[in-house]
Structure 1
Amino acid sequence: MVRRTLDSPDAIKHLVDSFYEKVQADPLVGPIFTEVAQVDWSHHLPKMYAFWESIILGNNAYDGHPFRPHLLVNQKHTLTSDHFQRWLALFSETLSEQFTGETAEQVQQRATQIAMVWSQKLDYLNNDAYMEG
């Protein structure tokens, strides 16, 4: 398979589509998307194209609050660091299989930051905040 650079809306769409194919098939995170969140993929995927375009291309395509849906899902089913580690592993696998170059490396770093920060926020909400109350 020829790896390509991550430098256009088309390349980003390919990344997102390939990644979410892995997510849907995954036994740990797949059910979170399909059963708990009951994701409407025709609505979710364009949002993810816009989110990653904003990060990668800097085009401000995404307008929203990306953490909020995770809070809502977490109220139905506790999201753990295992979920975020799997999400990151699938994302990293997709990136390394299909993309090359400096932008792909930067996107890997950004995805790692997102997974770490969101995992820590939810871990705090799920554990520490309740223990203090």
Structure 2
Amino acid sequence: MTLQDISNLDDIKLLVNTFYDKVQKDDLIGPIFNERILGRWPEHLEKMYRFWQTILLEVHTYSGTPFPPHKHLPTNQSHFDRWMEIFTSTVDGLFVGKLAEEAKVRAANMAYMFNYKIEYFRNLENH
């Protein structure tokens, strides 16, 4: 199978569905996601389709602020490392090209920012 670049909403859905299927089964980060999302996986996946479609395809279907729902997650650097490991392997297993690389860069930037902000707010609350 020759891998292609991410080019449309179906590709975004394949990426998101494959990624979150792996996340839900992961021993480290799966419980965090499954506990908070519970029976709302379809709703979460729809939101993620819109988010990545907006970022990668410049089809502006997502509006909102992604950080607040993550502010109080019981996470540390190891959780974000695993998230990136799963995301990167998912992208690399499905796609190759400019937008595939852009997806990994954007995900890495988000993981860094989310972890930094979570730590910042956690430290503020503990002082």
Equivalent residue, structure 2, for 1:56: 56
> After alignment, is 28-37 or 96-105 more displaced?
28-37
Q: Which amino acid aligns with 1:29?
A: I
Equivalent residue, structure 1, for 2:17: 17
Q: Deviations over 1:82-124 (max 9, x none)?
A: 1111111100010011100011111111110000011011011
CA distance in structure 2 between the aligned counterparts of 1:10 and 1:130, rounded to whole angstroms: 42
- Tell me by how many angstroms 1:69 deviates: 1.1
CA distance in structure 2 between the aligned counterparts of 1:25 and 1:16, rounded to whole angstroms: 14
Equivalent residue, structure 2, for 1:96: 92
> After alignment, is 5-14 or 32-41 more displaced?
32-41
| Amino-acid identity (%) | 39
Equivalent in 108, 114, 117 of residue 113 of structure 2: 117
Unaligned runs of 5+ in 1: none
Equivalent in 47, 54, 77 of residue 81 of structure 1: 77
Q: CA distance change for structure 1 residues 84 and 39 in 2, over 3 Å: closer, same or farther?
A: farther
Q: Which amino acid aligns with 1:110?
A: R
- Does the CA-based 8 Å contact 2:37-2:44 persist in structure 1? no
Q: CA distance change for structure 1 residues 86 and 39 in 2, over 3 Å: closer, same or farther?
A: farther
Equivalent residue, structure 2, for 1:130: 125
CA distance in structure 2 between the aligned counterparts of 1:82 and 1:102, rounded to whole angstroms: 28
CA distance in structure 2 between the aligned counterparts of 1:120 and 1:29, rounded to whole angstroms: 18
CA distance in structure 1 between the aligned counterparts of 2:16 and 2:120, rounded to whole angstroms: 28
- SS for the counterpart of 2:63 is coil
Aligned length: 127
Q: Which amino acid aligns with 1:38?
A: L
Q: Deviations over 1:16-45 (max 9, x none)?
A: 000001101100110001124425111110
- Tell me by how many angstroms 1:2 deviates: 3.4
TM-score, scaled relative to structure 1: 0.89
- Tell me by how many angstroms 1:130 deviates: 3.5
- SS for the counterpart of 1:105 is helix
TM-score, scaled relative to structure 2: 0.93
CA distance in structure 1 between the aligned counterparts of 2:14 and 2:95, rounded to whole angstroms: 10
Large movers: runs of 4+ above 2 Å: 36-39
